[in-house]
Amino acid sequence: MNKKRTQFLANLVNSISPSGYEAPVAKVWKAEAETFAAKVWTDTHGNSYAVVNPGGSPRVMFAGHYDEIGFQISYIDDKGFLWIQALGGWDAQIAQGQRVQVSTKKGIIRGVVGKVGIHMQTPEDRKKVSEIKDLWIDIGAKDRKDAEKRVEIGDPLVIDSGFDELANGLAVGRAFDDRAGAFVILEAARQLTKLNPKAEIYAVATVQEEIGLRGATTAAYEINPDIGIAVDVTFSTDHPKMGEVMKRENSIDLGKGPVIARGPNINAKLFDLLVKTAKTEKIPYQISAAPRGTGTDANAIQLSRGGVVAGLVSIPLRYMHSPCETISLKDLEDSIQLLAQTVAKITPRTNFVPF
C-alpha cells in the first residue's frame, strides 16, 4: 500500500468518532471521496455517500460503517470526576487504566480511566470482573465547576490509541472496526472508475452500526439498491487460545485474504460470483459459515424494503473492540480488488434470483 493511501487509512483510524458522533471521520472520508466521485454528500442521519457511474444499472451499494465504540459522559461529581456510559460493546477489563480523549466543543480534552487500585481492594473485590459503572474519567479537574469549564454532559470519548504499523505488513489501531471497511469500500469505488462498470455504485460510510445497524437501515431504504455488499471485520483465529473456538466458529487467518460469508443473510448467486471472481483474478480468499443474520450492515441491507441481494466481505482482525485491533494491509488491498472486480462483472442482465 502506498504512503498516500496508508495516510488516508491512518487519518480515518485516528478520528474520534464513536456512534452518534461521526462528524470527524466523515470529514476525512468525504474529502477523499471528492477527489474522484461524481457526487458526495451526507444525509441527516450522518451516513456519507460517494457515487460512481451515476445513471448506470443495476444499483449497487457498498457499506462500511465508520462509527466506533466509545463512551459518553453521563455525570460529573463534586470532585470533578467524570462518570461514563458505554457507546457500543465494551470489555470493561480493557478500558481500565487507559488514557482517553474527550471530544468537546472547545477541542480535545485528555484524561485517564480511573479505578480503585488493586492494593486497596478486598480479596473478594479482586475476584470480581469490573464493570463500566466501576470506572471513572480523571481529567485533572479541581472540582465540578472546574470540570464543567472543560467538558459537558454527553461529550463522547475514546481510548487514546492511534494507527501504527507492525512487522510483516500488519497494522494496529483503535478503530479498524470498521474504519477498515469504510476505507475498502471507498477505494473499491475509486478502482471502479477505471473499470468501465455497467452498475451505478454507491459507496456508503454508515453510522451507528455499533448500536444496532442503524445507519445501514436508513441508507439502504434511501438508495433502494438492487445489490448491497457490506464490508466489515471478522474474528481471526490465528492467535493463542483459539483452538476450541475454531471448532464452533470459523478458522480465519490474517494475510490470507478477505473472508466471504455464506449463509441465509447472503444471496447464493452473489456469493458464487464473489468466489468465482476471486479465483479468476487470483485473489486469495477465505469462507465463513454464517448460519443466521450476521450482525453487520449486510443484515440491514438484505431486509430493506422488499429485500435486497446481499453479500458480506470481511477483513480478518485480531483483538476486536480493543485499542489494539490488528489487521493485514494486504487483506485490505485484496478486499478492494475483490469488490471492484466483482462489481465490474455485474450487468443489468445478471440474474441474482437464488433458485
Residue 203 exposed, middle or buried by CB count within 10 Å (0-12, 13-18, 19+) = buried
Q: Answer positive or negative: Cα dihedral of 164, 170, 176, 179.
A: positive
Q: At what angle do helices 3-14 and 176-192 cross, to 10 degrees?
A: 140
Alpha carbon of 318 to those of 33, 182, 246, 290, 324: distances in Å?
28, 18, 14, 19, 8
Within 46-156, where are the H helices?
92-95, 123-127, 144-148
DSSP annotation of 142 reads S
Distance (Å, whole) CA 299 – CA 346: 21
Distance (Å, whole) CA 18 – CA 31: 19
333 is known as an active-site residue = no
Query: Which of the residues 32, 187, 209, 325 is marked catalytic?
Result: 209
Strand partners, 138: 112
Residues that are catalytic: 209
